Amino acid sequence: MSDIKLFSVGETIKERTSSEVVLEKDLQNLIERNMETFFGVRFLKSEYQITNGRMDSIGIDENNSPVIFEYKRSQNENVINQGLFYLDWLLDHKADFKLLVIEKFGMTEAEKIDWSVPCVICIAHEFTKYDVHAVNQMQRNIKLVSYKKYDDDLILFEHLNTPVSKPVSGSVSDDTETNISTQKTHTEKLAAASPEMKNLYHAVCNYIESLGDDIVSNQLKLYLAYKKVRNMVCVEIYDKKIILYLKLDPKSVTQEKNFTRDMRNVGHFGTGDLQVTIRNVNDFEKAKPLLDRAYNEA
């Protein structure tokens, strides 16, 4: 689709030419070894066998949502349809996925599984504009990622779409539902908020979304996450305040009582080590530079 040019800059300028990975299994192995670095996903299993097929790679992201990876091995292979089939299968076999998480990370992590926005990441050397259009029409959390390999030391991943997906109903695992049964969902808290707090919440969300076209929102059970490849900010709403968790180093921010807080050693929902509390428009204005930083550093 897009034409990306890469040049090495030295005594002479030289264009680096891209190529496909000769063996797609090599690409799969590279991604599985570095899945968290590339995509913010913890690797669970390769070649996961199911009743009517085999998922190439499977993992769990920082929001504790399942992620399926499918790699396009031939020009005629339709990884989008395959990924959609595997996603539906997984939603019907949640216990099997939970068992995988238990075996890899233990029961504590398995009880955190959130089925709100399970994801399929389809990876190929190239996709057509029709592929992107089809995925956007599906309103499922399917991401198309093209890759370019440059010699032996560089690989580029280009995220071609920002899926607008509807949360899956009945989204949290049974154990998690039991453990947080006293917690109102993010949607319920938003619905119950005062008109003033709702207006402030929407202003915050609109500002975050205005930072770039590459931002994707994920509506989880207990918070709203905004991400590029990884989460950059998680949003919670309460009766009299909005709490943000930003992916910023708290040590890089001058802490202000009742406004910012270092959360590195404090348990909380969502991700991000810097807590920002917004109670009014003045707090929102103070938070904007931090939101800008979170976007630029994500």
Asked if residue 175 belongs to a domain, the reply is no
Asked if residue 187 belongs to a domain, the reply is yes
- Of the chain, the end-to-end C-alpha distance in Å amounts to 25
Q: What whole-number distance in Å separates Cα of residue 16 and Cα of residue 8?
A: 7
CATH number at residue 253: 3.90.1150
Q: Report which DSSP code applies to 110.
A: H
46 and 134 belong to one structural domain: yes
261 conformational bin, left if phi > 0, alpha if psi -120 to 50, beta if neither: beta
pLDDT band at 267 (very low <50, low <70, confident <90, very high): confident
pLDDT band at 24 (very low <50, low <70, confident <90, very high): confident
Which pair of tokens denotes residue 171?
């989204």
Amino acid identity at 273: D
pTM over the 0.95 mark: no
pLDDT band at 178 (very low <50, low <70, confident <90, very high): very low
Domain range holding 292?
Answer: 183-297
Asked if residue 174 belongs to a domain, the reply is no
pLDDT value for 152: 77
pLDDT digits (tens, 9 = 90+) for 68-114: 999 987 666 788 999 999 999 999 999 999 999 999 999 999 999 99
Helix (H) or strand (E) holding 154: strand 154-159
Which pair of tokens denotes residue 89?
């299968």
For CA atoms 220, 298, 160, 29, the dihedral sign is negative
148 and 205 belong to one structural domain: no
Which pair of tokens denotes residue 7?
């040049």
- Grouping H, G, I as helix, E, B as strand and the rest as coil, residue 275 is strand
Average pLDDT in the chain: 88
pLDDT digits (tens, 9 = 90+) for 148-165: 888 778 899 999 988 766
